[in-house]
Structure 1
Amino acid sequence: MRVMFAASEAMPLVKTGGLADVVGALPKALAKLGAEVTVVLPKYETIPQEIAEAAKTIAVTEVQLGWRRQYCGIQEVVVDGVRFLLIDNEFYFKRGQLYGYGDEAERFVFFSVAVLEMLDKLGRMPDILHCHDWQTGIIPFLLKTRYANRPGYRNIRTVYTIHNLQYQGVFSRELLQELLTTGDDSFTEDSLEFYGAASCMKGGLRFADKLSTVSFTYAREIQSEEYGEKLDGVIRQRSHDLWGILNGIDTEVYNPMTDPNLAVNYRDSLEKKRRNKLALQRELGLPEDAGVPLIGIVSRLTQQKGFDLIAEALSELLKERIQLVVLGSGEPGIEDMLRGALPANRDKMAIWFGFNEGLARRIYAASDLYLMPSRFEPCGLSQLIALRYRSVPIVRETGGLKDTVAPYNEYTGTGNGFTFGPPTAHDMLYTIRRALSFYGDAEHWERIVANGAKNDYGWESSAELYCKLYRELVS
């Protein structure tokens, strides 16, 4: 079975978030099950130089985009056993960042058309074209309309995965109509129209053969008005085609036994884990104390991630015997809130604004507790990485957090973390204090950590579900 992933980012080439981790790791798991997987990405300027230089041009074509005809090079490179095809156009992709430009619609419509124009240059068509998030939502739409009668395209089946419904690629109807050179019939309620504008994501939701999202609970949540981001009606109409398949992590990459970023490698030894805590405390200028509970956060600093709850509870939380380490960047108001709390609490908290992969790994390894109070979370990878590094998660019961973190029950000895339901600072603080009370009891704490060590964090079972989904389509 030939599977082609179309996405806007993938590890180890380019990353801004969890999408890159998924698109980087899932093809390797599918290959182990016998699938032939290719990943198609834009050729960004930020791709590591050694990978970009190794990429070889295998074809050249042109892409019609409104009134423009744009150059499109197709380059091939194999990284970690995965075949990548890079869509080369310096005007659109030779920029310092992946996203955040005024011509996002044009850039990713170009990418979507380029992916389809590329296919008949490759010799063999894919059986499955698996599209990810809004940047590729136009591909299923074009495949069912413009390319429907082109030889070789009719048998391609599409899967569209929602990684985060909040980001939909909504642009003016006039802009997308000009870029796609389509008629008014493409901008109806049953097509791309979205409250007077046009939505790239809706193209994927309406026209893909099957839909998936990244956890069982999120698949249910996005069919409700609360979580549906005004697309819940569309998703409910296609609920019979929607699969909730939980994300995994690359357990070879995220492995505390071999991770070169850590001060001390370990598996299940809490003593060695505490040595990582002492090393991080030294690195960040915190008092060195192996016994103080260290709470870690590696996150985008946004309200979605629950930082409004943290802001409300922070002064009370810092009265506890804890240390808090935060790594991330995001909304200016949240960054300012954290900066404001720092001067009076330098013995209790440390903050790194921005992103540093090595430091992130050291926080996972050093933290006793890992806090994720998200208002919504499609899947979440951080709690899985935390569990892999034997850090106990404290999460809100939503999306993939609910599916992967089971609350500890002191009477049965089951559960791998601590959870709360209502998105309030009071409930979060109560749950943190409950976790701290068990941290002080060695017998309970060792049992909680051991429970977390039993979990399967890899892609094997989820990859099998994706293969089942693909087989259902091609049969």
Structure 2
Amino acid sequence: MKILFVVSEVEDLVKTGGLADVAKSLPLALRDLGHEVVIVMPYYQALAKQFSAAECTPPQTLFSDQLPYEFAIREIRLETLQVLCVDYPAFFDRKGLYSDDYHAYGDNAERFAFFAHAALKSAQAINFQPDIVHCNDWHTALTPYFLHIDDSGFFNKSRSIFTIHNGAYQGTHHFADIPYLRPHYQLREQLDGDALNFVRMGIRYANKINAVSPNYAQELLTPLGSHDLFYEFTQRRADVSGILNGCDYSQWDPINDPNIIKTYQAENFAGKAACKADLQRELDLPKEPTIPVIGMVCRLTEQKGFGFILPMLDKLMQHNVQLAIVGTGDPEICRYLHEMAQRFPQKFAFHQDFSVRKAHMIEAGSDFFLMPSLFEPCGLNQMYSLAYGTLPIVRAVGGLKDTVVDVADSPQSATGFVFSEPNHQALLACVERALLFYYEYPQQFTLTQKRGMQTRFTWQSAAKAYESLYVQALN
């Protein structure tokens, strides 16, 4: 099949989150299955600084309200993949991808409405006639609509897939603030008040809709988990499915990780103790090999469960434990974590920053990884944690429920600790259960660690599932 993969960011090119990981790994895995994949993304300022990408076609023009939008198409190679970059400086020659620090660009809707259309024009410009147009999150959610109204004949046999990586971000904007869409009366008739919801349009116009884990797909079909799009999802219930993301084990493997002080594997576990000591040194925590370390690396937001974490920190600090949190985000959460770290310097370390090296050190040096998310479409850190023999402590939502088996539910196949209720009491009880397991059952703890390291969530499996979804769309 010919697959046009439309996305706003790609690992190794530009990245703000997990979407970029998928946008590199999935196309590569689809290529390995024999499919021809072309990625389309915006040509951001950050890309222009990294690559001297040449124009691969003559200049292209789209018209809206009789106004011309002339843009260039530049080509970058990502391993063996062709990446087409839509170069429209007025929209993409900016410091950030979506925002300037914490302030989203006011014309994001205009920028990505244009990009959603320009992606199709780019495929047409290089004469790439896709069987599947695979769109990702709100930034590209209008591409199925533009495919639906296209009258060139070029895309007559093309079908669209809309993947929801995080349904909480929907691209809701006042229609009057999106000049590019003014002539599109079909969209005007589908406004919520005077606002256009990009994700809602993606759900309505795509041939198939999928989420990045089976459990998250089920949650989207419930009033509570649908992010206020329950009607839209239930109307398309037969076309909604979930495919679990894979994990890039070439980047996350303790056997050959250059970011950790000593490598290790399930059959030779000694290096993990050295990684724990190195993490304690890095974070100025007492070098105590027998005290369990709970690590956490994430964006500091309510979604990541800080509404549960902050109220239980005082009680957690009464236990014989060390807690290490690394990340940036909400200033109020940061302030509270700084205060707690000052109160409990022997037990709690908070570093308000992010680096790849520290993320790997946390995964390798911790005994547990804390991930009590309010919601989590798929999640990757719990997969990384399992690979490093670090037992996840998670809430039973989204992909966390699909990937972590609780010790109490199935001791013979357990890989971590899971709680359900969205409150700090349930989280604290789960953490205490994990600490009890660590102290009272050390042999079972080690066996569970090694079982986690032997668990694999591969992009090869995910790519085969997407292949089946594409065939369903074409049929």
- TM-score normalised to structure 2 length: 0.95
Q: Does 1:132 align with 2:136?
A: yes
Q: 1:249 aligns with which of 244, 247, 250?
A: 247
Q: 2:176 aligns with which of 161, 174, 177?
A: 174
Cα distance in structure 2, aligned partners of 1:90 and 1:259: 38
- Give the corresponding residue for 2:19: 19
1:328 is displaced (CA, Å) by 1.2
State the Cα deviation string for residues 201-259 of structure 1 (Å, max 9, x = none). 11110001111101111111111111112211100110101111011111112121112
State the Cα deviation string for residues 181-202 of structure 1 (Å, max 9, x = none). 33444233xxx42344111111
- Give the corresponding residue for 2:157: 155
The amino acid across from 1:163 in the alignment is H
The amino acid across from 1:217 in the alignment is N
State the Cα deviation string for residues 48-94 of structure 1 (Å, max 9, x = none). 844x12x2210121233446423311111112222211111222112
Match of 2:324, SS? strand
Contact 2:296 2:326 in 1 (8 A): yes
Contact 1:277 1:367 in 2 (8 A): yes
Q: Does 1:436 align with 2:426?
A: no
Cα distance in structure 2, aligned partners of 1:204 and 1:453: 37
Match of 1:334, SS? helix
1:316 is displaced (CA, Å) by 0.7
The amino acid across from 1:182 in the alignment is P
Cα distance in structure 2, aligned partners of 1:3 and 1:82: 12
Count of paired positions: 467
- Give the corresponding residue for 1:103: 107
Cα distance in structure 2, aligned partners of 1:289 and 1:276: 12
- Report the CA distance shift for 1:201/1:344 in structure 2 as closer, same or farther (over 3 A): same
The amino acid across from 1:452 in the alignment is G
Cα distance in structure 2, aligned partners of 1:279 and 1:467: 43
1:448 is displaced (CA, Å) by 1.0
Q: 414-423 or 402-411, which moves further after superposition?
A: 402-411
- Give the corresponding residue for 1:212: 210
The amino acid across from 1:180 in the alignment is L
- Give the corresponding residue for 1:222: 220
Match of 2:125, SS? coil
Matches within 5 A, 1:284-295: 284-295=283-294
- Report the CA distance shift for 1:183/1:139 in structure 2 as closer, same or farther (over 3 A): closer
Cα distance in structure 1, aligned partners of 2:146 and 2:280: 53
1:277 is displaced (CA, Å) by 1.1
- Report the CA distance shift for 1:355/1:66 in structure 2 as closer, same or farther (over 3 A): farther
- Give the corresponding residue for 2:101: none
Matches within 5 A, 1:262-301: 262-268=260-266, 269-301=268-300
- Report the CA distance shift for 1:105/1:411 in structure 2 as closer, same or farther (over 3 A): closer
Cα distance in structure 1, aligned partners of 2:210 and 2:353: 31
- Give the corresponding residue for 1:115: 119
Runs of at least 5 residues in structure 1 that lack an aligned partner in the other structure: none
Contact 2:64 2:183 in 1 (8 A): no
- Report the CA distance shift for 1:438/1:411 in structure 2 as closer, same or farther (over 3 A): same
1:411 is displaced (CA, Å) by 7.6
Cα distance in structure 2, aligned partners of 1:195 and 1:106: 18
Contact 2:107 2:177 in 1 (8 A): no
- Give the corresponding residue for 1:57: 55
- Give the corresponding residue for 2:147: 143
- Report the CA distance shift for 1:47/1:363 in structure 2 as closer, same or farther (over 3 A): farther
Match of 2:433, SS? helix
The amino acid across from 2:328 in the alignment is S
- Give the corresponding residue for 1:187: 188
Runs of at least 5 residues in structure 2 that lack an aligned partner in the other structure: 99-103
1:412 is displaced (CA, Å) by 4.1
- Report the CA distance shift for 1:98/1:232 in structure 2 as closer, same or farther (over 3 A): same
Q: 228-237 or 127-136, which moves further after superposition?
A: 228-237
Matches within 5 A, 1:221-370: 221-268=219-266, 269-370=268-369
The amino acid across from 1:133 in the alignment is D
Q: 192-201 or 389-398, which moves further after superposition?
A: 192-201
- Give the corresponding residue for 2:470: 470
1:422 is displaced (CA, Å) by 0.3
1:127 is displaced (CA, Å) by 1.1
The amino acid across from 2:70 in the alignment is Y
Cα distance in structure 2, aligned partners of 1:27 and 1:449: 31
Contact 1:5 1:129 in 2 (8 A): yes
Alpha-carbon RMSD: 1.6
- Report the CA distance shift for 1:410/1:231 in structure 2 as closer, same or farther (over 3 A): closer
Cα distance in structure 2, aligned partners of 1:262 and 1:461: 28
Contact 1:275 1:290 in 2 (8 A): no
The amino acid across from 2:220 in the alignment is I
Contact 1:298 1:328 in 2 (8 A): yes
Contact 1:13 1:48 in 2 (8 A): no
1:341 is displaced (CA, Å) by 0.8
1:414 is displaced (CA, Å) by 2.7
1:104 is displaced (CA, Å) by 0.5
Cα distance in structure 1, aligned partners of 2:181 and 2:78: 33
- Report the CA distance shift for 1:336/1:287 in structure 2 as closer, same or farther (over 3 A): same
Percent identity, aligned pairs only?
36
- Report the CA distance shift for 1:83/1:315 in structure 2 as closer, same or farther (over 3 A): same
- Give the corresponding residue for 2:422: 423
Match of 1:251, SS? coil
Contact 1:413 1:447 in 2 (8 A): no
Q: Does 1:395 align with 2:394?
A: yes
State the Cα deviation string for residues 146-166 of structure 1 (Å, max 9, x = none). x1x212121111000011111
- Give the corresponding residue for 1:461: 461
The amino acid across from 2:458 in the alignment is G
State the Cα deviation string for residues 394-435 of structure 1 (Å, max 9, x = none). 000011101100101388433100000101111111111111
Cα distance in structure 2, aligned partners of 1:368 and 1:141: 47
- Report the CA distance shift for 1:460/1:295 in structure 2 as closer, same or farther (over 3 A): same
- Give the corresponding residue for 1:38: 38
Contact 2:438 2:445 in 1 (8 A): yes
The amino acid across from 2:226 in the alignment is G
Contact 2:130 2:155 in 1 (8 A): no
Matches within 5 A, 1:378-393: 378-393=377-392
The amino acid across from 2:200 in the alignment is K
Q: 193-202 or 245-254, which moves further after superposition?
A: 193-202
